[in-house]
Each structure stands twice: as structure tokens, then as C-alpha cells.
Homo-oligomer: A and B are copies of this chain.
Amino acid sequence: MENAPAAATASVRRSRDVPMLVERARAGDHRAVARLITLVENGDDLLREVAAALAPYAGQAQVVGLTGSPGVGKSTTTNELVRALRARGHRVGVLAVDPSSPFTGGAILGDRVRMQDHATDPGVYIRSMSSRGHLGGLAAATPQAVRVLEGAGCDVVLVETVGVGQAEVEVASLADSTLVLLAPGMGDAIQAVKAGILEIADVFVVNKADRDGADATYRDIQGMIALGERAAGQWRPVVTRAVAARGEGIDDIAAAIDKHRDWLVEHGELRRRQEARAAAEVEAIALGVLRARIGSLRDGTELPSLAAKVAEGAIDPYAAADELLAQLGA
């Protein structure tokens, strides 16, 4: 009981901190930016206040997604792209998102080491993030982290994701422009289609273009783009080559991104994408709230006892789901 007033005071103090933190982030304070992203990432109680304080800065940065299979050179390419964007005078934010590790919670040392080049540059914000703890998962946490970086005055936000699974497609759909990295010898063009990346890519980068098979990969992708169905006036993906480890081809990538950005603005697509992004975000948050309500039943006896019945064949899972929802009052 004695702690209650102190806790209440602390809570108010923290709540008061939010507008100040946002002000400091806008003034270029790296620690304030880092704290805001942590609040967003952890799905902290203050998340809603952070979101409210950041709302006015929505849509001010160019959001570029960057994805590809493990080992294709994403971190290296991101690193070089940051260098090129800095040379153009842009403030740059980097979110290295790890959607594939629900257990370890992402934030692998490797990425951070590779990004050391920009560690002391005040115009670059770098952050590894995971979806740990956030209600709506990455689909909700990532755009909020993007908003933090927009609020901090970044002109470009690069969102790097590992792999090419469903979660990456979700994250990619949150970007204005999506870069897909390929490398020779990582599987043929059929594998690219398999992974569903043809549909999400605005720009393909054939990285490690000095290796055997790079020309074949380049031709395969060009061929698949030629075969792909596109409505009239739809964007045709650009394919570039790079050897990111030697800094080669990076300007071509930057130029392709700019070209796509111009196209988006010209065709009114930028606003449409921003609204689609907002809709997906709102849906993900709403679903996260409902998921949390269902999850609260997991720790009780309801779900385990229903699951035991399903496992022994007494009822089917759809009937069990109906019972679960009835218990939820939904």
C-alpha cells in the first residue's frame, strides 16, 4: 500500500516524459530516438502515448524495404546504401528486423558489427529490432518504429528483413519501395517465384555480381519480369547488379529507388500505399488486441482442456474454437 502513491507518481512522470522524448528525438538526440523505439518494440504501456505524439509526422520519410534469403548480402548492401544516401545529404534510419526468430527475439550481433561503419555518424540511426512483446507483432511494431524515425527527421528509412517468408512479405508491404536481393548460386529463378518475391519487388538487386552464374540469375529475373502479368500503367520492376562488398553498383540501386519514388508520386500511388499501410497497421493492432484476449485463455484451463480433447479425437478443432470464442464472449 505504501508504494501505491509513489508508483502512481512515477507513472505520471513517465507519461509526461513522452512529449519531451519526442521533442528531443526531433532535435536529433539519438538516445531519445533509441528510447522511443524501445517503448514501441516492447509494446510498453506508453506505446499509445508515443503513437499519439508521433501521429502528426506520418508519411514524411521515404520508406525502403530490403529483403532476400539469408547469406545474400543484405547487411553489406544496407551498409553501402547508407553511405550513398549520406553522401546525398539525407538523414537515414535503418531498422534491421528479424521476424524469423520468435524465440531468441532477434537482434543478432552480426548485423551490429557490420553496421559499425556508421556508428559515430549523427545523421544515421541504426536499430536491430524484434517483435518480442508487441501485441500486433512486427506488422504493428515496425511501422511505429518507422514513425519514430520519421519524427526524428529521417529522410529515408531502410527496413531490412531476414529471409523471404510470410512475415517479410508483410513487412515489405509496409514500405514505399521494396528491394529484393538475389545472389548467384542461391537457387534458380523458380525458387524466387516459389518464395513469392516477384510480387513484392519494386527493384531487384543481383548482388555478388562478380560470381559465376550472375549473368544467368540476371537473365532469369528479367525473363520472369517479362513473363509476369502487369496491368497497364503498373510499375515494371527494375533489375540492377551490385558487388556490395566492394561498394560497386550502389549508385544504381539508389537511382532505381529514386526512379520508383518518382513514379509513385506521379501516379498517386504513394498516398495509396501509405493508406494501405495504415489500414494494415490498424488491422494488425486490432487483431493483436483480440489475440491477447485469446492468449489470456491459454494460461487458464480452457484451452489446454479443449486441446486435450482434440488430441484424443473427442472433438474437432473447429468445434473447439467455437467453444473458445464462446468463453471469450466473442
The answer to whether A281 and B317 have CB atoms under 8 Å apart is yes
Report B-chain residues with C-beta under 8 Å of the C-beta of A163. 69, 163-165, 195
User: Which residue of B101, B277, B313, B330 contacts A195 across the interface (Cβ within 8 Å)?
Assistant: B101
Known: A70-B191, A103-B196. A304 touches B316 (CB 8 A): no
Asked whether A13 is an interface residue with its Cβ less than 8 Å from the other chain, the reply is no
Contact in complex: B69, A70 (CB < 8 Å): yes
Pick the contact of A294: B103, B109, B287, B317 (CB < 8 A): B287
Shortest beta-carbon contacts, A-B, top 6? A165-B165, A71-B187, A101-B196, A279-B307, A278-B310, A285-B321
Residues of B within 8 A of A187 (CB): 69-71
- Whether B282 lies near A307 (C-beta < 8 A) is yes
Interface membership of A98, Cβ < 8 A: yes
Give the residue among A279, A294, A317, A330 with the most B Cβ atoms within 10 A.
A317
Chain A interface (Cβ < 8 Å from any Cβ of B): 47-48, 51-52, 54-59, 69-71, 98-104, 108-110, 140, 143-144, 162-169, 185-188, 190-196, 199, 271, 274-279, 281-283, 285-287, 289-291, 294-295, 298, 303-304, 306-308, 310-321, 324-325, 328, 330
Residues of the B chain whose Cβ atoms lie less than 8 Å from the Cβ of A281? 310, 317
CA distance A54 to B315 in the complex (A): 10
User: Which chain B positions have C-beta within 8 A of A168?
Assistant: 100, 165
Whether A101 and B59, one on each chain, are in contact in the complex, defined by CB atoms closer than 8 angstroms, is no
**Contact at B289–A283, with CB atoms within 8 Å?**
no
Cα-based distance from A325 to B167 in the complex (angstroms): 24
Residues of B within 8 A of A190 (CB): 108-110
| Interface secondary structure of A, over-half rule | helix
Q: Check A71 against B186 for contact (C-beta < 8 Å).
A: yes
Inter-chain CA distance A104–B103, complex, in Å, is: 29
Q: Among A59, A194, A285, A307, which residue has the most Cβ atoms of chain B within 10 A? A: A194
A–B Cβ pairs within 8 angstroms, 29 of them = A51-B318, A52-B319, A57-B313, A59-B311, A69-B69, A70-B186, A100-B166, A100-B168, A100-B194, A101-B194, A101-B199, A102-B196, A108-B190, A144-B317, A165-B168, A275-B308, A275-B311, A278-B306, A278-B307, A278-B320, A279-B298, A279-B307, A282-B317, A282-B320, A283-B294, A283-B295, A283-B298, A287-B290, A290-B330
Cβ of A79 to closest chain B Cβ, rounded Å: 16
Contact between B110 and A194, CB atoms less than 8 A apart: yes
Would A59 and B167 count as touching, CB distance under 8 A? no
B196 touches A318 (CB 8 A): no
Give the chain B neighbours of A295 by CB distance below 8 A: 283
Q: Please determine whether A59 and B313 come into contact, CB atoms closer than 8 angstroms.
A: yes
Give the chain B neighbours of A194 by CB distance below 8 A.
70, 98, 100-101, 108, 110, 162
Closest chain-B Cβ to A71's Cβ sits at a distance in Å of 3
Q: Find the B residue at minimum CB distance from A273.
A: B311
